[in-house]
């Protein structure tokens, strides 16, 4: 996983700084350059990296730090805090409550792992005693309903969809209504993904959202999307009220930096990550432990 390499590069930069006898402007600048390089290589958006290093320079004013201050610790803490800030938009996302009906809509490009992630999300909650249900409002991709049906059947999760109906709004509304009547507490609506950010995709998403009034819209993003992540995430956010992000395929060779960009673009937290194709390869995402691991 390239994120591990990112962590390695950052810890090496910190280690090099720790090895220096005196920490002056030059040593700090070298350390920040190394970190900048590592973040850019991991596909974090340039502007985010620049803002981060500027903030660190502002916080760590070496002239103001009297002798005796542990400069290394202050610098390390500032780097830790800035990385956390990049991944934490400052407000938590809406969190569904067990026993109380919530509608959660999933959006993302085709191939991002959206349908797989819907089932993982349902399965995760089912294991904790929830009553989830899946609605397939993807009428665009042939086979989307079959895929959802197969996954749902395997996990014993109720599902709704249609081979005949071509109107995703109608299916979404019918599915949500049915599962509300059946007292499901987590109704998950899978929407169409397209290859690129077509206007029709966004219009359809907007209509499904308007008709089902989701409590939470989750943007699913493939971690290998790289530098394109920021613009993509922003385009989705502009059409529907994205409230949380799930980053998939963190097990692969993805650089993962796109996750940081998606948070910045949507001002929404990453709530889970996908770490494999299987239903249980799904982890809650917590900023601080993640950054601690990253820094080694
Ligand atoms: P959708 O078009 O966005 O609904 O994407 P799918 O759910 O069909 O997933 C596309 C492919 O990505 C499938 O082969 C999935 O098994 C795979 N996939 C989804 N999530 C992950 C993940 O976290 N890790 C890995 N390795 N593969 C994943």
Residues of the chain with pLDDT under 70: 1-5, 64-69, 196-197, 253-256, 294, 296
Residue ranges lining ligand 1, Cβ < 6 Å:
108, 110-116, 193, 248-249, 251-252, 274-277
ipTM, 2 dp: 0.99
- What is the predicted pLDDT for the residue at 259? 76
- What is the predicted pLDDT for the residue at 255? 63
Question: What is the rounded CA–CA span in Å between residue 58 and residue 64?
Answer: 11
Task: Give residue for tokens 């934490």.
Answer: 88
- List of residues 6+ apart from 134 with CB closer than 8 A: 118, 119, 122, 148, 151, 152, 157, 158, 159, 160, 188, 190
Question: What is the rounded CA–CA span in Å between residue 120 and residue 97?
Answer: 18
- Gap from CA of 92 to ligand 1 centroid (Å): 26
The 3-state DSSP class for residue 105 equals strand
Using alpha carbons only, what angle is made at residue 240 by residues 273 and 172, rounded to the nearest 5 degrees? Answer: 85
- What is the predicted pLDDT for the residue at 68? 57
Structure confidence by residue, pLDDT tens digits, 65-110: 666 567 778 888 898 999 898 888 888 899 999 999 999 999 999 8
Atom of ligand 1 nearest to the CA of 220: 3
- What is the predicted pLDDT for the residue at 1? 41
- What is the predicted pLDDT for the residue at 102? 98
Question: What is the rounded CA–CA span in Å between residue 11 and residue 34?
Answer: 10
């Amino acid at each position: 996983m390239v994120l591990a390499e990112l962590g390695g590069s950052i810890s090496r930069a910190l280690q090099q700084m720790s090895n220096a006898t005196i920490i002056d402007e030059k040593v700090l600048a070298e350390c920040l350059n190394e970190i900048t390089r590592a973040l850019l290589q991991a596909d974090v958006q340039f502007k985010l990296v620049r803002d981060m290093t500027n903030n660190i320079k502002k916080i760590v004013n070496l002239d103001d730090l009297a002798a005796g201050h542990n400069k290394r610790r202050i610098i390390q803490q500032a780097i830790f805090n800035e990385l956390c800030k990049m991944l934490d938009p400052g407000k938590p996302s809406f969190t569904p409550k067990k026993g109380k009906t919530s509608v959660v809509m999933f959006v993302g490009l085709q191939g991002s792992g959206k349908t797989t992630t819907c089932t993982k999300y349902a399965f995760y909650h089912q294991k904790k005693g929830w009553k989830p249900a899946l609605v397939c409002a993807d009428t665009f991709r042939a086979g989307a309903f079959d895929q959802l049906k197969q996954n749902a059947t395997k996990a014993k999760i109720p599902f709704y969809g249609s081979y005949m109906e071509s109107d995703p709004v109608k299916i979404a509304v019918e599915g949500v209504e049915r599962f509300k009547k059946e007292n499901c507490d987590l109704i998950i609506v899978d929407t169409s993904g397209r290859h690129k950010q077509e206007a029709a995709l966004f219009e359809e998403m907007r209509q499904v959202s308007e008709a089902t009034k989701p409590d939470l819209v989750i943007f699913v993003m493939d971690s290998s999307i790289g530098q394109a992540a920021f613009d993509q995430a922003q385009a989705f956010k502009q059409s529907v009220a994205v409230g949380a992000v799930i980053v998939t395929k963190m097990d692969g060779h993805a650089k993962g930096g796109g996750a940081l960009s998606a948070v910045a673009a949507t001002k929404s937290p990453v709530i889970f990550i996908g770490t494999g194709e299987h239903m249980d390869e799904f982890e809650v995402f917590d900023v601080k432990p993640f950054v601690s691991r990253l820094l080694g």
